[in-house]
């Protein structure tokens, strides 16, 4: 009698130990996921110290709750979901309200914005792209928190719609709505600046 | 191109959209794609540079584990002591006779008084019992009603004769 083994079973058995090993080592987690998380969180909150804190809390929370990771999505998606929730929590605090007030009346002069404006020397075409990257960065300022999160996860973190829905804790259709509104707003801002 | 179409095409790789022969807003689309690619790369470069100087998290993770483990151990110990106390009490109760356990709960000074009361009660009950017990004669015998009745009967018979 011949038995056939389903491909998903093989995928599951090979994927699981790697994920567990990676989650058991906090330094490996930080090494592999910190930069991507920091890029996303910084683009969301626009405050370097707050971004550092949120990323640190995300890594510690992921490490502490690693037993709860069931491998239904990638570690990156799981940790992005934790970061999204922590950003929401921070947005509710008085400190974040204060920061939003300060930020609303100030030019974006963060280290990241400066880096986008002047990161090394490059050919003419790349220079134009960099200018537009700064415009995209500024255009995201005008988006609502949900629109900005959906836009960043889709176009900067290049995540799939179901993963974004899972990370944001909302249906795929709601994510699509946020995404289309965000694209419309960014397009108007960046296209308007170009014309 | 509508915003929906623009958003859909924005998700495709640059090379794919350049091969699609788009008309109209294609220049705008490519520029946006280039802008996003540039943003993605430069922002990641910035984040990598900043992450490289961040301190290790292993000490904080260990400290956090210690602090979360301490209340858990304390709660476990309290639960263990409570259960052990309950079990010991239960075992002690089962090991003793019911009568002994009642007397054990009475203060030592009250015990002789209770024994005297018990003896007095027993004496009272036995004397009542003795009084109530039947010795052969009827309680009516004590009144000598029967003798008087037979004397009267003899007098009546003599008179008729």
pLDDT at B7: 82
Please determine, for the modelled complex, whether the ipTM score is greater than 0.85: no
Q: What angle (nearest 5°) sits at the alpha carbon of residue A29, between those of residues A26 and A32?
A: 150
> Which residues touch A66 (CB under 8 Å, ≥6 apart)?
A20, A23, A24
pLDDT at A135: 86
Q: pLDDT tens across A170-180, in order?
A: 999 999 999 99
CA nearest to A126 within chain B: B38
Could B36 and A133 be called an inter-chain contact, meaning their C-beta atoms sit closer than 8 Å?
A: yes
Q: pLDDT tens across B108-151, in order?
A: 555 667 888 999 999 999 989 888 876 666 666 666 666 666 77
Nearest to B28 among A30, A115, A191 (CB): A191
Could A183 and B48 be called an inter-chain contact, meaning their C-beta atoms sit closer than 8 Å?
A: no
User: Do residues B32 and A132 make contact, with C-beta atoms less than 8 angstroms apart?
Assistant: yes
User: Do residues B43 and A116 make contact, with C-beta atoms less than 8 angstroms apart?
Assistant: yes
**Closest Cα partner for A81 from A24, A139, A157?**
A157
Please write down the long-range contacts of B15-20, taking CB distance under 8 Å and 24 or more positions apart. none
User: Do residues A113 and A135 make contact, with C-beta atoms less than 8 angstroms apart?
Assistant: no
pLDDT at A11: 45
- Residue A42 clears pLDDT 90, i.e. is over it: yes
Distance from CA of A155 to the nearest CA of B (A): 7
Q: What is the mean pLDDT of residues B19-40?
A: 78
Q: What is the mean pLDDT of residues A4-30?
A: 62
Q: pLDDT tens across B69-121, in order?
A: 666 777 888 888 888 888 888 888 776 655 555 555 555 555 667 888 999 99
* Contact list, B31 vs chain A (CB under 8 Å): 128-129, 132, 190, 194
Alpha helices, DSSP H, located in A7-154: 7-24, 26-45, 48-64, 75-92, 94-104, 111-117, 124-139, 145-151
- Alpha carbon distances (Å) from B60 to A85, B44, B65: 21, 25, 8
* Contact list, A43 vs chain B (CB under 8 Å): 43
Token look-up 């014309």 returns A195
- Which is more confidently placed, B160 or B41? B41
Question: Which CATH number fits the domain A8-106, given the four candidates 3.30.930.10, 3.90.1150.10, 1.10.1740.10, 1.20.58.760?
Answer: 1.10.1740.10
Asked if the domains at A8-106 and A107-195 fall in one CATH topology, the answer is: no
Question: Where along chain A do its domains lie?
Answer: 8-106, 107-195
> Which residues touch A187 (CB under 8 Å, ≥6 apart)?
B3, B6, B28, B32
- Answer left, alpha or beta for residue A6, where phi above 0 means left and psi between -120 and 50 means alpha: beta
> Which residues touch A88 (CB under 8 Å, ≥6 apart)?
A145
Range of weakest confidence among A22-36, A113-127, B34-48: A113-127
Give the separation between CA A160 and CA B137, rounded to whole angstroms: 113
On whether the A107-195 domain is CATH 1.10.10.10, my answer is yes
Residues 67-126 of B with CB under 8 A from A: 68
Could B35 and A132 be called an inter-chain contact, meaning their C-beta atoms sit closer than 8 Å?
A: yes
- Residue A1 clears pLDDT 50, i.e. is over it: no
Say which DSSP state B143 is in: G
């Amino acid at each position: 009698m011949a038995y056939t083994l389903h491909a998903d079973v093989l995928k599951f058995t090979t994927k699981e130990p790697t994920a567990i090993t990676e989650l058991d080592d906090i330094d490996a987690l930080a090494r592999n996921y910190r930069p991507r998380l920091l890029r996303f969180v910084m683009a969301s909150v626009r405050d370097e110290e707050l971004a550092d804190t949120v990323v640190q809390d995300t890594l510690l929370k992921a490490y502490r709750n690693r037993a709860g990771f069931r491998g239904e999505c990638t570690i990156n998606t799981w940790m992005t979901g934790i970061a999204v929730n922590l950003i929401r929590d921070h947005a509710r605090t008085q400190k974040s309200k204060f920061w939003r007030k300060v930020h609303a009346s100030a030019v974006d002069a963060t280290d990241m914005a400066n880096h986008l404006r002047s990161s090394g020397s490059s050919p003419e075409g790349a220079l134009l792209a960099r200018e537009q990257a700064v415009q995209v960065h500024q255009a995201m300022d005008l988006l609502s928190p949900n629109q900005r999160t959906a836009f960043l996860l889709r176009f900067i973190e290049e995540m799939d719609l179901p993963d974004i829905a899972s990370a944001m804790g909302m249906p795929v259709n709601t994510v699509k709505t946020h995404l289309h509104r965000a694209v419309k707003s960014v397009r108007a801002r960046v296209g308007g600046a170009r014309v | 191109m509508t915003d929906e179409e623009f958003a859909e095409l924005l998700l495709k790789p640059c090379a794919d959209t350049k091969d699609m022969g788009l008309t109209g807003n294609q220049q705008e689309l490519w520029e946006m794609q280039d802008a996003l690619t540039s943003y993605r790369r430069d922002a990641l470069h910035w984040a990598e540079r900043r992450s490289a100087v961040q301190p290790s998290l292993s000490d904080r993770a260990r400290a956090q584990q210690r602090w979360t483990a301490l209340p858990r151990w304390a709660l476990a110990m309290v639960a263990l002591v409570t259960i052990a106390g309950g079990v010991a009490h239960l075992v002690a109760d089962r090991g003793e006779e019911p009568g002994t356990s009642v007397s054990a709960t009475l203060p030592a000074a009250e015990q002789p008084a209770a024994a005297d009361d018990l003896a007095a009660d027993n004496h009272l009950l036995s004397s009542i019992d003795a009084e109530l017990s039947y010795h052969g004669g009827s309680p009516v015998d004590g009144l000598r009603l029967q003798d008087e009745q037979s004397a009267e009967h003899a007098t009546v018979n003599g008179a008729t004769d």
